[in-house]
Amino acid sequence: MKTWEIYAIRHATNETRTRGVNFISDPDPTAPLTLDFFCWVLKSDDDVIVVDTGIDPAKGERNGHIQVMSPPDGWAALGIDPEQVSTVVLTHAHYDHLGYLDALPNATFYMQAEEMAYVTGPWMEKPCFRHAYWPDEIARLVHLLYDGRLHLHGREFDVADGISAHWVGGHCAGQEILRIRTKRGWVVLASDALHYYEEYQRGIPFTVAFNISDMIAAHDRIRDLADSDDHILPAHDPRLLDLYPAVSPDMAGRILRLDLRPEVAS
Ligand SMILES: [Zn+2]
């Protein structure tokens, strides 16, 4: 049975955020809460899948998101030649996930059809829904579609043996999560369905939302698809650095191994 290793590249961070910026109606809104940014690589014995492509640093800096490591440097550190990558999963089209589309020149990209309809449809007339998208990156998706390099799939999709994509919506109309078979069981890479563990643990919504009821319902879907609460990975939580080891000492704070059992470092 095919199993996958999960690697996270911490490509950017924002240490100026507060709980009030991150969570709706937080009782302690001025307390600091760092927002980290991860993108991922899934590796099996004979295959590599890239999940999301990080953030264009020039766009990130406009919002105070400072690059830690470029995703191409992260891929190189993991022994990946971007020219050889054939499969890239885009969990949604927010700009902190689309920054390096052109660094993967031979890949086919996979995304929810609903996300593409959303980012090219009438909701984008509303500033509150379009603010985490950049039109040049959405245009790149259109070009990739016309080049036959973007596959827009339905809500449930098998990416590979042991990896499936599941629509949850909420954070944006086409947000998806990934269910990944690892040596220790089924892990759910929640992407931005969970920015922080706290959302799942307390049932609270993140501030960037298209549909809050779908966002909260996603917590149940995540719970159903993961083997346990210790098999769930949020996308922006600095706690990941405490729970999972770096791949090597020189990659501390930059590349983590997420398919292992989470353990608080002693
Ligand atoms: Zn997002």
Whether residue 81 contacts residue 22, with contact meaning beta carbons closer than 8 Å, is answered with no
Band of residue 22 on the pLDDT scale cut at 50, 70, 90: very high
Q: Are 39 and 8 in contact (CB under 8 A)?
A: yes
d(CA 171, CA 219): 12
Distance CA 153, CA 143 (A): 17
Neighbours of ion ligand 1 (CB under 5 A): 94, 192
- The whole-number pLDDT of residue 116 equals 98
- 239 has a pLDDT exceeding 70: yes
- CA of 145 relative to ligand 1 center, distance in Å: 21
Instruction: Give the whole-angstrom CA distance, residue 49 versus residue 62.
Output: 30
Q: How far is the centre of ligand 1, averaged over its atoms, from the C-alpha of 96 (Å)?
A: 7
pLDDT digits (tens, 9 = 90+) for 70-121: 999 999 999 999 999 999 999 999 999 999 999 999 999 999 999 999 999 9
pLDDT-derived band at 266 (thresholds 50, 70, 90) equals: very low
Average pLDDT over residues 15-33: 93
The rounded mean pLDDT for the chain is 97
Distance 105 CA to ligand 1 centre (A): 23
Average pLDDT (228-234) is: 97
User: What's the CA-to-centroid distance between 135 and ligand 1, angstroms?
Assistant: 15
Ligand 1 centroid–CA 236 distance in Å is 9
Find the 5 Cα to ligand 1 centroid distance in Å.
Answer: 23
pLDDT of residue 265: 57
Give the distance (Å) from ligand 1 centre to CA of residue 78. 24
pLDDT, tens digit (0-9, with 9 covering 90-100), for 180-212: 999 999 999 999 999 999 999 999 999 999 999
- Residue 1 Cα to ligand 1 midpoint, Å, equals 32
The domains located in the chain, with CATH, are 5-257 (3.60.15.10)
CA of 100 to the centre of ligand 1 (A): 15
Measure 192 CA to ligand 1 centroid, in angstroms.
5
Look at residue 88 in the predicted model and tell me its pLDDT: 98
Q: Partners of 142 in the beta sheet? A: none
Q: What is the pLDDT of residue 38?
A: 98
Cβ 159 vs Cβ 150: under 8 Å: no
Instruction: Report the separation in Å between the CA atom of 117 and the middle of ligand 1, taken as the mean of its atom positions.
Output: 16
Per mean pLDDT, which range of 22-26, 30-34, 60-64, 210-214 is the poorest?
22-26
Alpha carbon of 93 to ligand 1 centroid (Å): 7
CA of 54 to the centre of ligand 1 (A): 11
